[in-house]
Amino acid sequence: MIQTKQRDVILAVLREAGRPLTREEILAEGRLKLPRLGSATVDRTIRELGDNFRLIGVHFPGQPRRYELPAESEHPHFICRVCERVYDLPISMRLPQIRAPKGFHISGGEVIYSGTCPDCEGKVRKG
């Protein structure tokens, strides 16, 4: 049974970040709020929240799995090619409907844009 306090901290971290976070990012941010937050607790909490659909896993090829809170609407993600952080783009969009080729069962899809995030764009501009 996971302690409410720890679960609340993890949910708060994700809410405040406003972008999908890796477990390491969740752990680091969580420890700022709750210094004794343990690595195993974070893993267990992520799993439990996922099972209850209070947390969504975001997984892009070649990237560590990240987690975010369920969004109100479908939205594209953005990956920064400099810092590799993943952002939610606050744009509502629908995935195009496609007809699955024979033998394929499609259970989900993602739209991912890439480029430079505002933080890195500033650094690039300043040189």
User: What does the per-residue mask of binding to Zn ion show for 10-39, with x meaning CB under 5 A?
Assistant: ------------------------------
Strand-pairing partners, residue 36, are none
Comparing CA positions, the residue from 82, 69, 54 lying closest to residue 21 is 69
Chosen residue from 10, 42, 86, 117 binding Zn ion by CB under 5 A: 117
Q: Is 93 in the site for Zn ion (CB under 5 A)?
A: no
Q: Is 80 in the site for Zn ion (CB under 5 A)?
A: yes
Pick 34 or 80: Cβ nearer Zn ion: 80
Comparing CA positions, the residue from 108, 71, 107, 109 lying closest to residue 92 is 71
* Residue 23 φ/ψ, nearest 5 degrees: -65, -35
Are 92 and 74 spatial neighbours (Cβ–Cβ below 8 Å)? yes
Comparing CA positions, the residue from 36, 38, 34 lying closest to residue 23 is 38
Which of the stretches 18-26, 52-60, 69-77, 83-91 binds Zn ion when contact is defined by CB under 5 A?
A: 83-91
* Residue 11 φ/ψ, nearest 5 degrees: -65, -40
Q: Is 106 in the site for Zn ion (CB under 5 A)?
A: no
Q: Please tell me the count of residues contacting Zn ion according to CB under 5 A.
A: 5
Considering the complex, what minimum distance in angstroms separates the CB of residue 104 from Zn ion?
Answer: 34
Which of the stretches 18-26, 36-44, 79-87, 91-99 binds Zn ion when contact is defined by CB under 5 A?
A: 79-87
The three-state secondary structure class of 1 is: coil
Question: Under the rule (CB under 5 A), what is the footprint of Zn ion?
Answer: 80, 82-83, 117, 120
